[in-house]
Amino acid sequence: MKRQPLDDSFKVNRNPVTLREIVLDKLRSAIMNFHLLPGDRLVERDLCDRLGVSRTSVREALRHLESEGLVEFADAKGPRVAIITLEDARDIYELRCVLEGLIVQLFTLNAKSKDIRALERALEENRESLEQGELQQVLESVQGFYDVLLEGSGNRVAAQQLRQLQARISYLRATSVSQHNRRGASNREMEKMVEAIKSGDPHAAHQASVDHVRAAAAVALEYLRQKQEDDTPVRPIAEPLTQKDPRIGR
């Protein structure tokens, strides 16, 4: 019998997206889009029925979301959507001021022409998504904008630190962007960042980044304060020190 050559039918068809990743994405999106609210119980049996998957897939996804800070196993009753307290949110925004300010400064100093063009495209995509009004699309466009900044900054450690916070940052971003008075202002603030970067001024770019985070924080923290019915004022977000700040070196 003559040996037949192996053809393309012998290849293994690989699906780059696993069932676990699909379940994870579905649950994460439900939290980000407020279909599942902070404090909601996540009963495995119910989730299995609604998603049409096994308990193993749901359990793995919930554990991953716990590592992202979106799910918590607070008591014997099982997992629930994590409650980001007012103080937690303030701390996250304060850290964003420091890390994102640094990332934008470094991007201004290190970015190549192709990186700046990619940032301009990402800004335009954000503007278009804001006009169309779909929250998930807005969040993805903002993340695309920051992905360009992270890649072009040249600081992998700072980028890694921000990515570890990404899920909670995105959730708080959804909280602020869902307030319609933030949408136009958000894109204008990002425009100022891009203009400062294009001008080659790292200090102006840093300040534009900090201003953007602080403006988003003001809206999100006020919303959370009202939701928690807490009349205690929130400590303001601290302005990070920069190399140009006279307080450094004292």
Per-residue confidence (pLDDT) for residue 2, from 0 to 100: 47
Which runs of consecutive H residues, i.e. helices, occur in 111-240?
A: 113-132, 135-153, 156-164, 166-177, 183-198, 202-227
User: Which of 209, 188, 198, 191 has its CA nearest to residue 103?
Assistant: 209
What integer pLDDT is reported at residue 195 of this predicted model?
A: 97
Q: What is the architecture of the domain spanning 18-81?
A: Orthogonal Bundle (1.10)
| Sequence spans of domains, the chain | 18-81, 86-227
Assessment of whether the complete model's pTM goes beyond 0.85 = no
Predicted pLDDT at 136: 83
Architecture of domain 86-227: Up-down Bundle (1.20)
3-state secondary structure of 237: coil
- Predicted pLDDT at 42: 94
Q: Which among 181, 170, 114, 180 has a CA at the least distance from the CA of 144? A: 170
pLDDT value of residue 184? 79
pLDDT tens over the chain, length 250 residues = 444 454 554 444 445 468 889 999 999 988 888 888 889 999 999 999 999 999 999 999 999 999 999 999 977 788 999 988 899 999 999 999 999 999 999 999 999 999 999 999 999 999 999 888 788 888 899 999 999 999 999 999 999 999 889 889 988 988 887 776 677 788 999 999 999 999 999 999 999 999 999 999 998 898 888 877 655 555 556 666 555 543 333 3
Confirm if 123 and 194 have CB atoms less than 8 A apart.
Answer: yes
SS (H, E, C) 186-209: HHHHHHHHHHHHHCCCHHHHHHHH
Closest CA to 219 of 209, 164, 227, 101: 227
